[in-house]
């Protein structure tokens, strides 16, 4: 029997996270058990972005680079990311609070040019309701509502990859 320590946490959780859920309220109960303040609207489960729990959306390709970099740092046990199976899909990172100063207009414009969006307080984030990637699904499931990278970390890594791709394009 293989050691569970060698299996990624999301693989273990992904098998049973919603297996026994038959309604949005049961799915919401699972998320609340992880510490998320979720709501049910129109038969769907969502959370509302706040200053302490937010989301950063970006193209899937950039998101994969950001995730790999954050995993290499090995500070993060879990990097909660959700997505939707469609062309031009985004990865939505659930993030903790930002630290440091407010982002400048130039930085926000640079991020938006590359398809990076920062969900502000009050904006809704629809959460997966099944373990199957037929709608919104977890690319990487959360362990709880406290263990996630800060918004600042995710944005800083995204900016690093954006800058390196712009530099590479300038040399072509």
How close are the terminal C-alpha atoms of the chain, in Å?
51
For the whole model, what pTM was predicted?
A: 0.84
Sheet holding 38-41, edge to edge: 38-41, 44-48, 124-126
pLDDT band at 15 (very low <50, low <70, confident <90, very high): very low
The answer to whether 139 touches 9, Cβ cutoff 8 Å, is no
Size of the chain in residues: 172
User: What average pLDDT does this structure show over 45-69?
Assistant: 94
The CA distance from 81 to 159, in Å, is: 18
- Taking only the tens place, the pLDDT of each residue in 105-122 is 988 999 999 999 999 889
- Taking only the tens place, the pLDDT of each residue in 141-163 is 998 998 899 999 999 999 999 98
User: What average pLDDT does this structure show over 22-29?
Assistant: 89
The answer to whether 157 touches 61, Cβ cutoff 8 Å, is no
User: Which helix or strand (DSSP H or E) is residue 129 part of?
Assistant: none
Whether the per-residue pLDDT at 74 is higher than 70: the answer is: no
Give the strand pairing for 117-119 and 54-59.
antiparallel
User: Which helix or strand (DSSP H or E) is residue 51 part of?
Assistant: none
């Amino acid at each position: 029997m293989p050691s569970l320590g060698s299996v990624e946490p999301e693989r273990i959780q992904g098998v049973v996270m919603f297996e026994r859920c038959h309604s949005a309220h049961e799915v919401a109960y699972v998320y609340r058990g992880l510490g998320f303040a979720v709501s049910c609207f129109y038969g769907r489960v969502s959370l509302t972005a706040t200053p302490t729990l937010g989301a950063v959306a970006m193209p899937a390709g950039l998101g994969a680079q950001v995730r790999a970099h954050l995993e290499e740092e090995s500070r993060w046990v879990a990097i909660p990311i959700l997505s939707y199976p469609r062309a031009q899909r985004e990865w939505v990172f659930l993030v903790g609070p930002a630290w440091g100063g407010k982002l400048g207009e130039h930085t926000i414009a640079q991020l938006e040019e590359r398809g990076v969006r920062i969900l502000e307080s009050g904006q809704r984030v629809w959460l997966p309701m099944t373990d199957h990637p037929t709608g919104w699904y977890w690319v990487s499931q959360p362990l709880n509502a406290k263990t996630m990278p800060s918004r600042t970390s995710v944005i800083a890594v995204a900016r690093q990859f954006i800058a390196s791709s712009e530099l590479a394009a300038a040399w072509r």
